Amino acid sequence: MSNKIYQMVTDQIIRQLEQVDPNNFKTPWFCVGHSPINLRGTAYRGINHILLSHSGYASNLWATFKQWQDKECNVRKGERSQIVVLWKFFNETDDEGNDSGKIGAVSTRYFRVFNSEQVEGEHARGVEQKFKDKLKDHNPIAEAESFVKNYIAGERLPVRVSDRAYYAGGIAEHIAMPELGQFDCPQSYYSVFAHEITHSTGNANRLNRDMSGRFGDQAYAFEELVAELGSAMLCGALGLSQTPRLDHAQYIKGWLTNQRSDPKFIISAASHAQKAADFALESAEAHAAPLTISEQEVAQ
């Protein structure tokens, strides 16, 4: 059954390629400000952005112990802080005190900050609620949600909330995803999630695809085609849609156009995408939680 779905998806996308305009493509989610910020609303940058983004908290709001106290919020006992670093650069001056334009000294200080989820107080809850109010009220799609959770758990693959969607390999392997409520519809959320899951199957510990490409080169474009085709195939297998969404074709044609490749380039990518979809589905099934007695009765 899966092979027929995969072939149908591939055939329909190839037909769509002749009709779509890749310049009309846009991401199917909106940004709500997941980047870490302080109480003034200023975004953290550089290494501080990385440190706080990988903290595991859903909230993006951070402040020092005293800053929270000033807002009548109390850090809960036993909570651990995160370090952020402040650099100040000072330029050299000549004998007359004129600025040379060259950095002569660097002053470094560090601060310990706590996430809003680590504190109690109305101000913290109010800021969090303003953030949540931006999100749409979507219900998860049961089968797709089970697939995602089972795959992520089975492959021990952390998921980090972000305004961007991407897969990161290496020692700190993870998937970054916007929240369900940031998408125009649940189908788009699971489609993008499936795209990143397909990327993750290329890891050396899984299907070991060539993941060495850099943005703009042919290897990178090929992997993006694999991921987008894999996403469409997974959506078809999960029953989300028997017809690939238009933006799949737009995304794919964008990469084909950038590479000035023959659309037949997609056939080779489709072969890898099928292997990726099979791997992801089999992994999710292998790591599915056993049904409870009540769930078994419902299934029967």
Question: Is residue 207 domain-resident?
Answer: yes
Q: What's the pLDDT at 300?
A: 45
Residues 148 and 267 in one domain: yes
pLDDT bracket for residue 242 (50, 70, 90): very low
Residues 25 and 79 in one domain: no
How many domains are there within the chain? 2
Residues 19 and 147 in one domain: yes
Whether the predicted pLDDT of 104 surpasses 60: no
Highest mean pLDDT among 85-89, 150-154, 284-288, 290-294: 150-154
Residues 20 and 86 in one domain: no
The answer for residues whose C-beta is within 8 angstroms of residue 247's C-beta and 6 or more apart is 25, 26, 28
Mean pLDDT, rounded, for 114-143: 90
Whether the predicted pLDDT of 100 surpasses 70: no
Residues 93 and 216 in one domain: no
Residues 147 and 215 in one domain: yes
Confirm whether pTM is higher than 0.85.
Answer: no
Rounded to the nearest 5 degrees, what angle is found at the Cα of 264, between the Cα atoms of 212 and 270? 60
Instruction: Name the residue range of residue 52's domain.
Output: 46-133
Strand-strand pairing, 174-177 and 159-161: parallel
Question: Is residue 195 domain-resident?
Answer: yes
Instruction: Write the single-letter amino acid at 234.
Output: L
Q: What is the dihedral of CA 94, 100, 103, 105, to 10 degrees?
A: 20
> Per-residue pLDDT tens for 189-207?
998 999 999 999 999 999 9
Rounded to the nearest 5 degrees, what angle is found at the Cα of 136, between the Cα atoms of 132 and 142? 110
Cα separation, 27 vs 40, in Å, equals 29
Residues 77 and 207 in one domain: no
Q: What's the pLDDT at 47?
A: 80
Residues 163 and 195 in one domain: yes
Burial of 199 (0-12, 13-18, 19+ CB in 10 A): buried
Question: Is residue 81 domain-resident?
Answer: yes
Mean pLDDT, rounded, for 265-281: 88
Residues 184 and 260 in one domain: yes
